[in-house]
């Protein structure tokens, strides 16, 4: 397995080039999957308050046998905890549930523009970073306009913007917007959330050309775009395979083919999503 270089952030820190997602995984399944992922070599674990599995993720990190300093744990502020004081309280609940003394990356999960609290929430995250209880701070599902408002009103640019991104929803404009602002793009749902992406003829052909699984081909596509994907899998073998994307390179033509599949959003629209 060829090691992938870490991805530099605008705050001087780095992220692993690929992480493990825990959306819609709960209870002991979440703990087992995270322990297994860490054993396979993942060092970036992504959770959120709204996933309801922070306690299990934290327990898995603590019992994995992997030194805490080698693991980067991400969580996200839920909508009910938006606002300055509420965000500080929400963070404390997440940290307590995880059983950690600090978070490596903390994100605002959705902008929820109708509430108009994301700037106040961002000020709270910046304070947490300044206090040293969070290493890096960022956002999730933010548009370019949302990012620009944060910077204009606080002077602080997010390190990360985690967005829905896969060959079925390439987000070219948003990737460019993040890059122009020095923000690293993370990808949630990188394998298309089981909606048939990995079964398409184009993905299968690219994978076959390199003797890899369709998932590995798609994750390599993300990597070559400079995106940090966060795949999830309940299968231990696939978890190991998904991490191994360093031994082959997609051609420019293959990248183009995967980037021109029919496009559709599978999740919420950041301009209208509320919770």
Q: Which two tokens stand for residue 70?
A: 């080698």
Residue 233 lies in a domain: yes
Structure confidence by residue, pLDDT tens digits, 87-97: 999 999 999 99
Q: What is residue 194's predicted lDDT score, i.e. its pLDDT? A: 85
pLDDT at 34 over 90: yes
What band does 1 get if pLDDT is binned at 50, 70 and 90?
A: low
Q: What is residue 26's predicted lDDT score, i.e. its pLDDT? A: 94
pLDDT at 3 over 90: no
Residue 206 lies in a domain: no
Q: What angle, rounded to 10 degrees, do the helices at 84-98 and 54-63 form?
A: 40
d(CA 162, CA 109) in angstroms, rounded, equals 9
HEC letters along the chain: CCCCCCEECCCCCEECCCCEECCCCCHHHHHHHHHHHHHHCCCEEECCHHHCCHHHHHHHHHHCCCCHHHCEEEEEECHHHCCHHHHHHHHHHHHHHHCCCCEEEEEECCCCCCCCCHHHHHHHHHHHHHHCCEEEEEEECCCHHHHHHHHHHHCCCCCEEEEECECCECCHHHHHHHHHCCCEEEEECCCHHHCCHHHCHHHHHHHHHHCCCHHHHHHHHHHHCCCEECCCCCCHHHHHHHHCCCCCCCCHHHHHHHCCCCCCCCCCCCCCCCC
51, 84, 106, 118: which one is catalytic? 51
Total Cβ atoms within 10 A of residue 95: 21
Give Cα separations from 45 to 42, 204, 257, 267 (angstroms): 7, 28, 30, 21
Mean pLDDT (whole number) for 42-64: 98
Mean pLDDT (whole number) for 16-25: 97
Number of structural domains, the chain?
Answer: 1
Residue 271 lies in a domain: no
Structure confidence by residue, pLDDT tens digits, 216-259: 999 999 999 999 999 999 999 999 999 999 999 999 999 999 99
Structure confidence by residue, pLDDT tens digits, 176-198: 999 999 999 999 999 999 889 99
Structure confidence by residue, pLDDT tens digits, 130-169: 999 999 999 999 999 999 999 999 999 999 999 999 999 9
Structure confidence by residue, pLDDT tens digits, 65-81: 999 999 999 999 999 99
* Residue 51 annotated in active site: yes
Structure confidence by residue, pLDDT tens digits, 97-135: 999 999 999 999 999 999 999 999 999 999 999 999 999
Residue 203 lies in a domain: no
Residue 137 lies in a domain: yes
The answer to pTM > 0.95 is yes
Residue span of the structural domain in which 135 resides: 12-194+222-247
Residue 180 lies in a domain: yes
Residue 213 lies in a domain: no
Q: What is the mean pLDDT of the chain?
A: 97
What band does 2 get if pLDDT is binned at 50, 70 and 90?
A: low
Q: Which two tokens stand for residue 49?
A: 């308050």
Residue 255 lies in a domain: no
Q: Which two tokens stand for residue 42?
A: 């993942």
Q: Domain containing 96 — which CATH number?
A: 3.20.20.100
């Amino acid at each position: 397995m060829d090691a992938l270089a870490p991805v530099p952030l605008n705050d001087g820190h780095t992220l692993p080039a690929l992480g493990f997602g825990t959306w819609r995984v709960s209870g002991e399944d979440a703990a087992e999957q995270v322990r297994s992922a860490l054993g396979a070599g993942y060092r970036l674990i992504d959770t959120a308050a709204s996933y309801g599995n922070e306690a299990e993720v934290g327990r898995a990190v603590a019992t994995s046998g992997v030194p805490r300093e080698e693991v980067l744990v991400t969580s996200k502020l839920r909508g009910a905890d938006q606002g300055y004081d509420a965000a500080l309280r929400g963070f404390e609940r997440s940290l307590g549930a995880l059983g950690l003394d600090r978070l490596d990356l903390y994100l605002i999960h959705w902008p929820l523009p109708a509430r108009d609290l994301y700037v106040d929430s961002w000020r709270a995250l910046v304070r947490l970073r300044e206090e040293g209880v969070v290493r890096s701070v960022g956002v999730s599902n933010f548009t370019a306009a949302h990012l620009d408002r944060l910077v204009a009103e606080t002077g602080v640019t997010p390190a990360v913007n985690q967005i829905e991104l896969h060959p079925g929803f390439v987000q070219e404009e948003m990737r460019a917007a993040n890059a122009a602002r020095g923000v690293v793009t993370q990808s949630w749902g990188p394998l298309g959330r089981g909606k048939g992406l990995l079964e398409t003829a184009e993905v299968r052909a690219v994978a076959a050309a390199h003797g890899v699984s369709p998932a590995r081909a798609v994750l390599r596509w993300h990597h070559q775009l400079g995106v940090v994907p966060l795949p999830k899998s309940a299968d231990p073998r696939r978890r190991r395979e998904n991490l191994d994307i360093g031994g082959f390179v997609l051609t420019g033509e293959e990248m183009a083919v995967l980037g021109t599949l029919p496009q559709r959003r599978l999740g919420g629209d950041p301009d209208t999503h509320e919770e």
